[in-house]
Structure 1
Amino acid sequence: MDVFLSSDFNWEAKLDHATRVLDTQHHFESLDYGPGLAGLRIILNCRNPELGHKQRVRFTKADKTLGIDVMLHLPEFIRVPHAQRRAIIAREVLSEVPKVLRKYALPDFDTEGFLAELEAHITDGLLGPDADRFDHLCLP
């Protein structure tokens, strides 16, 4: 399955540093949950609230791809350390993605199996024992 995690953020949020530990695309590429969903695009959105960004959710039937924006609060990300950024990202992704994915009736797709693997991958990657391995490379 094609799972892609990216971000649209103000530099102060440092999402690139917080998510550096995840290799979501390679983790899921050899896993198959059925033909009902071929791809999932998760975009972490952490922009200035004055811009008025709203969550986008889009399912493309032609290529069976679901795109989900996970909205993050920039003022919060500016003032917290990297460990808390990772915890917030994990909490929001693991809250928002299941909520959106369960709204779609995807025939022949193991939604619960996929969500269990996503939770394990995100939890281990962002909150596990090696999650802080790149923290020393960036300023607080």
Structure 2
Amino acid sequence: MRFNIVSDTNYETKVSDHVTTQFSARELEDWLHFKNYGNDLLTIGVVLMCRNPEHNFKQRIRMDRKDKALYIDLMLDYNYFVSDITQEDRIKVVANKMMDEIPPIIKKYKLKDFDVDLFMQDLKKYLKKIKWL
């Protein structure tokens, strides 16, 4: 299983500086590398979107059945992220958003051979390990 997080954010939100740099995609990939959740989904790519709302960015979700990959934008509240919050606050919001929003998106595709609950349990264990949850 491959799992990647990147960000598309305004600088002042500090998501790329304070959140994505704290998240080791390589470490998570090593954590998930030998896990088998099924053959219908092999890659999940998450884009943390935190842009000024005046630009009207919309969430994108795309399932590539040929490559067995799911790409998800997680929309973050720009006004909250530019307010006077701590790095820990930013990280907690992202972690909770991942735990809340990823499962229903995966389940929407009704994949016959993918154990979303087991994947989310492992993701939760990892997020606890790195102290995001």
TM-score, length of structure 1 as denominator length? 0.84
Corresponding residue for residue 28 of structure 1: 32
Task: Tell whether 2:82 aligns with 1:81.
Answer: no
TM-score, length of structure 2 as denominator length? 0.88
State the distance in 2 between where 1:124 and 1:13 align: 25
State the distance in 2 between where 1:93 and 1:65 align: 17
Q: Do 1:45 and 1:70's aligned partners in 2 also have CA atoms closer than 8 Å?
A: yes
Q: CA deviation at 1:66?
A: 0.6
Task: Tell whether 2:19 aligns with 1:18.
Answer: yes
Amino acid paired to 2:6: S
- What is the Cα-based RMSD across aligned positions, in Å? 1.5
Amino acid paired to 1:98: P
- Secondary structure of the corresponding residue to residue 73 of structure 2: strand
Q: 1:69 aligns with which of 73, 83, 91?
A: 73
State the distance in 1 between where 2:9 and 2:29 align: 20
Matches within 5 A, 1:49-64: 49-64=53-68
Task: Tell whether 2:100 aligns with 1:99.
Answer: no
Q: CA deviation at 1:126?
A: 4.5
Uncovered stretches (5+) of structure 1, i.e. residues with no partner:
129-140
Corresponding residue for residue 133 of structure 1: none
What percent of counterpart residues are identical?
A: 32
Q: Deviations over 1:96-136 (max 9, x none)?
A: 111211112112211110011112222332536xxxxxxxx
Corresponding residue for residue 51 of structure 2: 47
Q: 2:95 aligns with which of 90, 96, 113?
A: 90
Amino acid paired to 1:74: Y
Amino acid paired to 1:12: E
Amino acid paired to 2:53: P
Matched length: 128
